[in-house]
Structures are given as C-alpha cells and as structure tokens.
Chains A and B, each alone.
Chain A
Amino acid sequence: MLTPLLFIPALLAAQPEPTTGNGGITLPEGFAAVVVHEGVGPARHITVRENGDIYVALRRAGRDGGIVCLRDTDDDGKADIVERFGEVQGTGIALRDEWLYFGADFKVVRYKLPVDSLVPTGEPELIVDGFVRDGQHAAKPIDFGDDGRLYVNCGAPANTCQEQMRTPGSQGLSPCPILEYAGGIWSYDPDAPNQQHPADGVRFATGLRNCVAMDAHDDSVYIVMHGRDQLDSLFPEFYDSDDNADLPAEEMHKLTLGSDAGWPYTYWDGGRDERMVGPEYGGDGKTASTNENYQDPIQAFPAHWAPNGVMIYEGSQFPERYKGGAFVAFHGSWNRAPQMQAGYNVTFTPFADGEPSGGFEVFADGFAGKEEIRSPREAEHRPMGLATGPDGSLYISDSVEGKIWRVFYVGESE
C-alpha cells in the first residue's frame, strides 16, 4: 500500500530571497538562486565551510591574492565581507579540519584556517611539489577521500601522446611516457610537507587525459574526463568535422585503485557507445578496442562540453531523487567548429547504488547569455566549480567574471 505523501514547505530553515531572474540562469521548477557575488575574478573551483564561509580559487592572482573568501553576515545569501589572500593561483581548493588546501598549477599548499577565521593565517605550507611545468592541462583539482588521503588530478600535458604534439598524422608513443607522471590521479599524505610528485605519491588511477571534474566520494573517486580533441584536423583521412564535434565523449568514471580509462590509446565513441582505438595507435574510426583493462564510463556526455566540476550531492535540502546523484558543471566547448559550440550548463544525473540510474538532464542553463555560441568568448558566463553548503544549497562558480550563484529548493517536498 502506498503511503500518502504529505507535502510541506521545504523551507525548514530561512532561505534567502531569490535574485530576480535567478541571476540570469534557468533552473528546474521548485528551485531558485541568489547571486552571492557578481564577480570575484576569474574563478575556478569553490568550497564552502561548515559555517557557510565560501572560498574561491582564482586562475589569475590579483594584487591582493589568488584566493577569495566570502562571508554572508545577514543571511540574505549575498556576500557582505570579501577578502583576498594568497600568492597563488590555480584551480583546486578544499577544506579539511583547520586547513585550507590549494591546488596551484604546479604545487599543492595549505594554509592554517582557525575556527571562525574567514582569512587564513600564516605562511603557506608546501604539501606536494614537482608536477610537470607545462601549461597544458596543468590544473590541479584536489579532494580528500574517505581514507584521509589527498587526491590530486595530474592532467596530461597533451591532447594524445603523439610523437609530435598536435601534429597531423603524427603517431602515438607506446608506451606513453607521460603516464609515468601525469594522465592520472595520484594520492598523497595530506599532512606530510614537501612531498615530491610522483615519487612520494600513490598512482591511484591512470589513462585519464584530464579530470578537472573530480569528487572523492565514499571509497571511490568520481571524475568526468575531458575527451580528446582534433580528430579531423589530425587525421582527416578517417574523420570529418562532424565526427570531431560529436564522437569523442566526455567520460564519467567511478575510479578505484588501479583503474585505467584507456587514454591515450583509446577514446570513447559516444555515437557507437564503444571504446575505440585512437587514430594515433592504428585506429581508423571503425576499430573498437579489445583491451579489457580499460574500463567503460558509467556515463558518456557529449563531446567537448568540457566538464570542469563534478559533485555527488550529499546535502539534505534537495528532493530525494537528487540525493547521491551527480551534478556536473560544463565549462563549454571550443573544439566543435564549424558546428556551434555547446555545453555551458550544469547537468544532473540521478544515481542508485553509486552509479547512474538514468540519463543526464540539464539542471541549470543560460550561463552563456545567448542561445548560440560560436566562440567561447561570446559566453557571458561559463560554469566552473560546484560545492554544497552546510544547508544543502548548491554553489556554482563562473570562470569569466567570477559570478557565484547559490541554488536552493523552494518547492514542496515529501
């Protein structure tokens, strides 16, 4: 017998007044958003402390620092105090105990963050150094696993592992030497200073081109990988521009120790729903990989959407179907020409038992400010980082101006 549903207002605690038009984004019915800040600078990832303080990593450090600290003092959802600190710039940012960890492009540091202090104190402590100093895929997203380890994405400084980088027809190196120090996720002791990459770390997973979207959750690390670029311009004998625009999926994986997602030797063809041999390694667009060491994605997203944030929702505020599911922030494509660019949204994938239980849906959209984007610079805003607040609100950062949204549920719940 079905139990009748009792509907009560979701607002057990006071929610802020939504910003007019939800600050320019569209949301599912029952959700609203307040703009926390109109623009803190070129924002990357974001994290929220148990007391509601917000920390945002900046891609470029301004004169006052590369980390922005925001505090709402009157519960209207908007930042009333804005502080900046840290002679660092980068992407990864995460809180643990009384420490704020920062993933700069070539190192990981941490700052002491006393209870109730908005701004850290003291000098940064170097935790991990020695990452390859190459600008390509240098972002270092970080997170802490249930095992207490610090997980660091080490993106491959390449599109694939060609003898001559991004050069038409150039073949792939085998074995790919990049995989010794990048193209994977490593874990480190979060309390040990001056560790060197990769010698002092543990290579947790490999075959990963670049995983800016990474969330350590339970005993796994969930990632959404940036798929390969330039199929048609590098191998025009096998692919046309539509193939390049549509085929190489952005792969969501549930990683465990030893996982291998097959980069650079393969890519996931979203049209065939199959892992294919890369053209640098003898593939021709029609040859599927037979290597069983490479795991399949748990979900394939459209090509080139550029997943830059993933978050398994652990909050209690949103309706039941959202709990344990995955939000993904897509920065938006640049490699789909001559087709229109795509992405520039936040999706949601419902989960059951730790894996997708259905397809993804666009959760938040409208960031770009226009329907058709031909070039990334046309986008007003680009979704970048995701975080959950202590009340279960979803925070979204934007990389163009650093606009910060807080999304909350205002509908009815069970």
Chain B
Amino acid sequence: MRFLLCISVAALACLTGCSDEPEKPEAATVLPDAPITAEALTQGQALYVKACLQCHQYDGSGVPAMQPALIDNPAVAGEPEHLIEVVLRGMGGTDSALPPSGEYAMTMPASDSMTDTEIANLLTYIRQAYADEGPIKPEQVAAVRSKLE
C-alpha cells in the first residue's frame, strides 16, 4: 500500500500546512477549499481499501474495459454532486442506478448505506489521491442524498 500511504502523507503535508496559497473564489454553498483533516483522509483511505480497491485497483488505474480508472477521470475531478450521485446510486445493474458506461463492462453497486461523513471522506480521499482536487463535505453528500429521495 505504499502508493496509498504516500498520498496521505503528501496530502496532509500540503493541504493542512500551506497557508500562503492564493485566495480562491468563494463557493456558493460549501467551501470546497476547506482544510482536509487527517481523520478524514485516514477514514477515506480505509474506506477506499475496503470498498473500492478491488475494482479500481491500488493505484486507481482501474481495469481496461471493465472498471474505469480514477486517475485522469473527469468525473473524479469534476462536479462533486455527480461524484456523490455515482456513489449513492451506483452505475448500471438496477433501475435506480445511473446508466452504465458503454465503455466499461462492470456495474458498480450503490453505497447508500454509508453515512454522509463516510462518503464525504471517501470521496475527499479519492479526489485528493487521483485528481488533486479539494474536499467534499458531508453537507454536500446530504444535499445530494436529499435530492434523490
């Protein structure tokens, strides 16, 4: 798990310790550049190992034609709401899931039994590890979950 551990250390070193970064525009609802805590990354990494690693692989490289890579994946780097919806609904396999991707054969199960905080920490870890993007907050997960209900 060297790759996973290196990501955590690097993420913590930068995101909690860089105070002289240029100011970013204010977000409309939740602050996307809120600090990532050590606890969030640790839990997110553990959840990735438990729920995601077998399919998306230890380095987020996915499996050709079966499961998409998380590295260089526009969905990972893109709008948090879509990413949250993918986790809550899954992709393919059931009527409630998002449509399957034509390029990848495998379906992805819904993980709506995870709490808002767990999903937020998982996606924060994934975005930091594979897209160098900012955190996702539990409030954002709760908002998407509420919209889907």
Contacts and interface: CB of A to CB of B under 8 A. Distances in A.
Interface of A: 42, 59, 134-138, 157, 164-167, 229-230, 233, 334-335, 337-338, 374-378, 399-400
Contact of B104 (A135, A374, A377): A135
A378 B69 CA distance: 13
B53 A166 contact: no
Contacts of A229: 54
A374 B109 contact: no
Interface of B: 1, 50-51, 53-55, 57-59, 61-67, 69, 90, 92-94, 100-102, 104-110
Contacts of A137: 105
B102 A135 contact: yes
Contacts of A338: 1, 53, 58
Contacts of A377: 57, 61-64, 69
Given A135-B102, A135-B105, A233 B58 contact: no
Given A136-B106, A164-B94, A233 B54 contact: yes
Contacts of B110: 164, 167
Contact of B109 (A138, A166, A334, A399): A166
24 contacts: A135-B101, A135-B105, A136-B105, A136-B107, A164-B94, A165-B93, A165-B109, A166-B93, A166-B109, A167-B109, A167-B110, A230-B54, A233-B50, A334-B54, A335-B54, A337-B58, A374-B59, A375-B58, A376-B57, A376-B63, A377-B57, A377-B61, A377-B69, A399-B64
A135 B106 contact: yes
Contacts of B107: 134-136, 157, 165-166
B66 A337 contact: no
B92 A135 contact: yes
Contacts of B94: 164-165
Nearest to B66: A334
Contacts of B92: 134-136
A136 B50 CA distance: 22
A233 B63 contact: no
Q: Is the interface of A mostly helix, strand, loop or mixed?
A: loop
A101 B94 CA distance: 32
Contact of B61 (A59, A166, A375, A399): A375
B40 to A, nearest CB: 22
Contacts of B93: 134, 136, 165-166
A223 B63 CA distance: 24
Given A338-B1, A377-B63, 16 more contacts: A59-B65, A134-B100, A137-B105, A138-B105, A164-B94, A164-B109, A165-B93, A165-B109, A166-B107, A166-B108, A230-B54, A337-B53, A337-B54, A337-B57, A376-B57, A376-B64
Contacts of A42: 65
Contacts of A136: 92-93, 105-107
Contacts of B61: 375-378
B5 to A, nearest CB: 13
Contacts of B90: 165
Q: Which of A42, A164, A166, A378 has the most CB of B within 10 A?
A: A166
A150 to B, nearest CB: 23
Given A233-B50, A377-B69, A334 B104 contact: no
A240 to B, nearest CB: 12
A344 to B, nearest CB: 13
Going nearest first, the 10 A-B pairs with the smallest beta carbon separation are A135-B105, A375-B57, A165-B93, A377-B61, A334-B63, A166-B109, A167-B109, A375-B61, A376-B63, A135-B100
A25 to B, nearest CB: 20
A164 B105 CA distance: 17
A48 B93 CA distance: 37
Nearest to A44: B65
A338 B59 CA distance: 11
A134 B102 CA distance: 10
Contacts of A167: 109-110
Q: Please indicate which of the listed interface residues B1, B53, B63, B101 has the most CB atoms of chain A within 10 Å of its own CB.
A: B63
A233 B100 contact: no
A165 B95 CA distance: 12
Contact of B57 (A135, A164, A334, A399): A334
A1 to B, nearest CB: 57
A166 B57 CA distance: 16
A320 to B, nearest CB: 38
Contacts of B63: 334, 375-377
Nearest to B105: A135
A399 to B, nearest CB: 8
A218 to B, nearest CB: 32
Nearest to A375: B57
Nearest to B112: A167
